[in-house]
Structures are given as C-alpha cells and as structure tokens.
C-alpha cells in the first residue's frame, strides 16, 4: 500500500489505517478474540501499518487485543492510542480526566496492555475543560522526552485548542469525524491543520457504515450498538439520507468499484496528509477498504461528486446532545 506522512511530523503510515474500536466495543457484541486477532493480522498482510485503539474501548480490552495481534509485527506498524477518561474501580467510564497524573497513569496502563515500550501516537481523546491544554501538552512533551511516547495527537478538538497545544508540543495529528456525510472540518479545521503542518485522521470515514450501502431504514441494530442513540441513524433519517448512498452507488458502478471505495478514495483525494481509519469486523470489508487506496478519482470524477453532493442535505445530528457537547472545544 502507498504511504502518507501525517503533516510535517515525519510520521509515515499506510494511506488507509484500521480503526480497531468496533472489534471490542460500540457496534454490538465483541468479535471473538481469535477472529479479531486474525483480522488485524490480515490488515498487516494487506499493507496496513496504522492501527488505532484507546483505553476506553472496552474499556481496556481493545488495547489488550491490539497488543497481542500486533506483537509479531511491532517494528512494522504504528500504534495510536488515547487517554482522557476517568474510570471507577470496576472499569466503568466516569467522565473526562486529563490531569497530568492521570495521563501518566493512563500511559503506563496502555504500554502494558499494548505490550510495547513506546506509544507511537498518543491522542487526548476529548478536550477536558477542567485542565488547561497547555498542561496536557506539557505532560505529553515530558513523556516524549522520557521515550514513552513518540508523537502527540488531539481528538475532536477545536482550532483554538489545537493552536494552544501546538505551541507547547507540536501536534502530529488531529483525529475527528470526516466523510462525505460530515464535512464540517472543511470550514475551519482543515485550513488550520494545513497552516500548522498537522496531519488529519478521519474516523467514521464511511459514516459509521452507512456509506457502504448495506444499511437502510429497515435495518435493526443490536441492542448494544451505539448507533441506536445517534439521531442520524433514526429510521426516518436513514430513509432521508438514502439518496446519498444511491448517488455513491451510481458513481461506483461507473468506475466498477464499491460505494465504500468511492467514499474512501474521495477522502484520500482531499489532502495528501489525510489518512482515514475505517473500522470493520469482517475480512471481506477489510479487503474492500484496503482496495480503496488503489482507486484514483480524476478531477472530473471529483467535480461530479461535488456537484451531486451539493444537491443533498444530510438529515440528523451525528451525535446525541450529551456527546456533541464534548467535541469542538
């Protein structure tokens, strides 16, 4: 697979990474561990070198899974994880916590679970309004100097926070949602990242699965699937948004690829420092995602997509209100 560099950091990764959250958390029952390990290793065989996890996924179980799966390939891969939440004694997630001592404690836990000596890319998972971002960046800077972390990242942060953090410790990457059905980052975030030389890692690049074309208004999700709480996945919103999927299907058919591959290729065409991290639990979907790196969209293709998308208004918020309040700070 072709490689990309995240901003001006020098951190080189595969053009498409693998978001590992869904193997343990968020989209229904966890994948059986042997199958999950097999899928992660299939990604390595397919050329993926960039793997994304977090302590809160599970909590904790996803890091342990990723650590076991990637142990034989440590020198070939880049592992990203995240801190920023508090946990009760039983592991229940209890709100934000980016206090310096908590960051250091989280890093020690992540290193152990991931079975590594250094975290390649460490993100603050969500901006903590109770802790100055300068203190967060300064703590990660210390961890980098100690050799426990290589690169600093932010997730779902707003432009002002990005600038303040970057002034203390250069930010290698911002991770936020970005796709053909969520384009808000284009307004202020992408110009700021380009100015500062920061890479962009879009999560949910396939609209939490919707842009694949396999979900419709009649689809029923498992009771533990968090999409049940997302306004954009209400049946009436899915019905209203079907036109976007139909459009992708028509463009994909002309190019003899899949709608998901068009959606990922579109992201790759936006900037050379954008690296999407689609997640999946299915080997054939993984192969499909990897194949998107070989799909070339011409300027005419991109103009056609832009013109068609401009006629569609996506319905439904991307998060329920309590989660939306945590982003863009």
| Active site amino acids | 57
Residue that the structure tokens 């390595």 belong to: 44
Residue with tokens 């034989």: 72
- Sheet strands side by side (includes 149-155): 18-19, 50-52, 78-83, 119-124, 149-155, 171-177, 199-203
Cα separation, 321 vs 329, in Å, equals: 14
Say if residue 105 is preceded by a cis peptide, omega within 30 of 0: no
Q: What's the CA gap between 240 and 52, in Å, rounded?
A: 31
SS percent in the chain: helix, strand, coil, step 5: 45, 15, 40
Nearest Cα residue to 17 out of 45, 43, 37, 41? 43
Helices (H) and strands (E) in the chain, counts: 12, 11
Characterize 171-197 residue by residue with b for buried, 16 or more Cβ atoms within 10 angstroms of its Cβ, and e for exposed.
bbbbbbbbbbbbeebeeebbebbeebe
Q: Does residue 46 sit in helix, strand or coil?
A: coil
User: Residue 323 burial (CB < 10 Å; 0-12/13-18/19+)?
Assistant: middle
| Contact between residue 153 and residue 181 where contact means Cβ atoms under 8 Å apart | no
What does the H/E/C string look like for 210-229? HHHCCCCCCCCCCCCEHHHH
């Amino acid at each position: 697979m072709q490689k990309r560099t995240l901003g001006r950091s020098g951190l080189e990764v595969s053009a498409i990474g693998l978001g590992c959250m869904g193997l343990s958390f968020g989209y229904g029952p966890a994948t059986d561990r042997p199958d999950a390990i097999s899928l992660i290793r299939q990604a390595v065989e397919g050329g993926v070198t960039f793997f994304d996890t977090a302590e809160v996924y599970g909590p904790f179980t996803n890091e342990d899974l990723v650590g076991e799966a990637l142990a034989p390939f440590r020198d070939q891969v880049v592992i990203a994880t995240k801190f920023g939440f508090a946990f009760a004694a039983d592991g229940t997630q209890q709100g934000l916590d980016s206090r310096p001592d908590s960051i250091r404690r989280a890093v020690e836990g992540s290193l152990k679970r991931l079975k590594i000596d250094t975290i390649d890319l460490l993100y603050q998972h969500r901006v903590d309004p109770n802790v100055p971002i300068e203190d967060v960046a300064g703590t990660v800077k210390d961890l980098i100097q100690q050799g426990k972390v290589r690169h600093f990242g932010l997730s779902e942060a707003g432009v002002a926070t990005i600038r303040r953090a970057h002034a203390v410790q250069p930010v290698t990457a911002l991770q936020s949602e970005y796709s053909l059905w969520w384009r808000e980052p284009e307004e202020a975030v992408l110009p700021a990242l380009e100015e500062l030389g920061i890479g962009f890692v879009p999560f949910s690049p396939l609209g939490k699965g919707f842009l694949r074309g396999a979900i419709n208004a009649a689809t029923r999700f498992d009771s533990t699937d968090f999409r049940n709480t997302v306004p954009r996945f209400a049946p009436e919103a899915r019905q209203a948004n079907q036109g976007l999927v139909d459009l992708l299907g028509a463009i994909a058919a002309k190019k003899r690829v899949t709608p998901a591959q068009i959606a990922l290729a579109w992201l790759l065409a936006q900037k050379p420092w954008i690296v999407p991290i689609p997640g999946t639990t299915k080997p054939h979907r993984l192969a499909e995602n990897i194949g998107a790196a070989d799909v070339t969209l011409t300027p005419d293709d991109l103009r056609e997509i832009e013109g068609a998308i401009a006629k569609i208004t996506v319905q439904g918020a991307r998060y329920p209100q309590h989660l939306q309040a945590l982003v863009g700070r």
